[in-house]
Structure 1
Amino acid sequence: MGLSIAAAALAFVGSIVGLSVDGIYDNLTSAFLYQALAQDIINAVVVAPTIVLCAILALRRSYRAGLLCLGAVAFTVYSYVIYTFSIPFGPIFLLWVGVLGLSLFALIGGLASINRQSSTGRFTHSRAAVVAAWTLLVVAGLFGLLWLSEDLPALLNGVRPQSVVDLALPTNPVHILDYAFFLPAAVLTSVGLLRRRAFAYPIAAAFLVFLLLTCMPILITPFVQLTLHEPASWGVMIPIGIVAAILVGVLSWFLATLHFERP
């Protein structure tokens, strides 16, 4: 939890610098700039405060807060892999590396500290677990199909995917992370939850938090574009908004089924 708080503090500072200091994102394309600014806003306003608050509550033995913190830390690892490997070298590069390292080791420590023997007994509503599993599986599958719908035609036609062109990157880091890590882990967790495997219950809750946070930068990107006097991509609001609303409902229900708060 100490590593989580340190990562959140550094991420908050880095996001404030990214939003307020000219030149940090000068080498980004317009499409990438909107995403980076939206990400910084969510990091500073939502993710960093959530990690700090939930880490403090978890240190006071709140199991729910620990799961929320785990999901937010996983989102931070995911985000800062993109920051460190995709954004050109600049004045806060080492800060980004620090956030990535701290959050990665915090995530490893959080996963290692899960008491699998007591996990199943904490979640008392089998229907909520089934709904959570299918929600995770379906949302992950939809993202996977969306990425494949762009990447497969590009491969068959021998061209670069449009998102890669828009970002001016060698490849799309989001697609790589999802194909290699997120999608397999989501499927494994969903199947484990459906089979009532102890490890899957807390990880599924953290995954739902991760997915919800993933929706947030997408939802505010049109407002960033509007602020910069650029055409806003309002078309993403309805589908991503629906997904986010479903995730809020399922996550709230799943966590509400916890039998007790203190071990």
Structure 2
Amino acid sequence: MTSFAGQTQEPVETPRNPVRLSRLWLRLSLTAALLAGAGSVAGLAAPGVIYDQETVALADSSTAQDIVNLFLVAPLMAGLAVWASRGSLRAYLCWFGFVAFTVYNYVIYTFSIHFGPLFLIWVAVLGLSLFALIGGLTTLDTASVKARFGARSAPLQAWFLIAVAALFALLWLSEIVPDLLVGDPSTSASDMNVPTNPVHVLDLAFFLPAALVSGVLVLRRHPLGYATVAGQLSWVALICLPILVTPLVANSRGHQPGWTVMVPVGFLFVLTLTVLVLLLRRQGPPGHGA
């Protein structure tokens, strides 16, 4: 290109447009967050009605989940969706973790809590968040995400996810295998009076393998790895919170609190947030690395 002074200038590369969450997935996410918040309010206001048929262990953990949903997950899922729709890549990538956690949580609500007044709300939240998760992931420009990270490796985050997936799998199998060998019912499922522990099913069948795959893809510098690693880390952090709140709920109700989980789960929560922040700080502006 020639300037007014007659000098030839190199064309300036136009930065890529920011990666945005589409309006459809934004609306699904906002609706899911609104319904989840309303359901959590009802669960906290009338636990004797909503969870009256559950065991003490399941009722306390469900109330803890309602607290986390109402005060953290639902509002932040909505906020991240709005920011992602305005072009924040960090919000978009973390939003995956919040929506995945909502899917995870409401599978447990719909399949393990007795049929009751909130059933249709829980089903709606599950469906909305699941379609938002699938849609948001399949329409994401993963190549642009990789470019925003400059195609740099993230071995810390990758190996952290692989280690967390392996450790949780070993932890769950350490209960499942002995129960199977002696022919006893699942120990943790018996505490909740459900046929099988839904956490074991969801983790071993879906979420831990997904975390493992994300870690491996990041090590291979695959675009899908860069697109999912922040969401996986957000999900790991979120699953810690109801575990940390449950002993507080149990203690407030005069039940036996499981204080022993506080230190290891609290450590995992802080460590996961640290690893996530270090990852997000590496993301460049639009056009970075292109």
Normalised-by-shorter TM-score class: over 0.9
Could you give the per-residue CA deviations for residues 200-220 of structure 1, whole angstroms, max 9, x where no partner exists? 112011000011000000011
Determine if the alignment matches structure 1 residue 40 to structure 2 residue 57. Answer: no
Counterpart in 2 of 1:15?
A: 40
Matches within 5 A, 1:140-179: 140-179=165-204
1:234 aligns with 2:259: yes
For these two proteins, the number of residue pairs brought into alignment is 262
User: Do 1:62 and 1:261's aligned partners in 2 also have CA atoms closer than 8 Å?
Assistant: no
Query: 2:99 matched to which residue of 1?
Result: 73
Q: Matches of 1:178 and 1:63 in 2, distance apart? A: 27
The whole-number CA distance in structure 2 between the counterparts of 1:212 and 1:200 is 18
1:260 and 2:274 equivalent? no
Stretches of structure 1 lacking an aligned partner (at least 5 in a row)? none
For residues 113 and 236 of structure 1, what CA distance do their matches in structure 2 show?
39
Superposition misfits of 4+ residues, deviation over 4 angstroms = none
Which aligned pairs between 1:1-263 and structure 2 lie closer than 5 A? 1-21=26-46, 22-124=48-150, 126=152, 129-260=154-285
Residue by residue over 1:81-138, the C-alpha shift from the partner in whole angstroms, topping out at 9 and shown as x without a partner, is 01001101001100000000100000011111211211222124845x1111111111
Q: 1-side partners of 2:250 and 2:142: how far apart?
A: 44
Overall identity of the aligned pairs, in %: 48
Task: Give the whole-Å Cα distance in 2 for the aligned partners of 1:191 and 1:57.
Answer: 28
Deviation of the 1:161 alpha carbon: 2.0
**By how many angstroms is 1:75 displaced?**
0.3
SS in 1 for 2:221: coil
> In the alignment, is the contact (CA less than 8 A) between 1:154 and 1:160 conserved in 2?
yes
Secondary structure of 1:23's counterpart equals helix
Distance in 2 (alpha carbons) for counterparts of 1:104 and 1:145: 27
Q: 1: distance between equivalents of 2:224 and 2:111?
A: 31
Superposition RMSD in Å: 1.3
If each structure's helix is expressed as a fraction of its own residues, which one has the higher value? 1
Q: Residue type of the partner of 2:173?
A: L
Alpha-carbon distance in structure 2 between the residues aligned to 1:262 and 1:126: 15
Q: Give the drift of 1:30.
A: 0.5
Take 1:13 and 1:110, find their aligned partners in 2: how far apart are those partners?
24
Residues 4 and 51, structure 1, Cα contact 8 Å, conserved in 2: yes
| Alpha-carbon distance in 2 for matches of 1:56, 1:15 | 22
1:153, distance to aligned residue in structure 2 (A): 0.3
Q: Which shifted more, 186-195 or 117-126?
A: 117-126
Opposite residue 184 of structure 1, the aligned amino acid is P
TM-score (normalised: structure 1): 0.97
Counterpart amino acid of 1:75?
F
Which secondary structure does the structure 1 equivalent of 2:90 belong to?
helix
The alpha carbon displacement at 1:262 in A equals: 7.8
Q: Which has the larger radius of gyration?
A: 2
What are the superposed Cα offsets for residues 1-44 of structure 1, whole Å, 9 maximum, x if unpaired?
A: 11011000000000110010131000100110111001000000
Q: Partner letter of residue 68 of structure 1?
A: C
Contact 1:63/1:262 (<8 A) preserved? no
What do residues 166-206 of structure 1 show as CA deviations (whole Å, max 9, x unaligned)? 01011111101111111221111111111111111120110
Structure 2 distance, partners of 1:260, 1:246, is 26
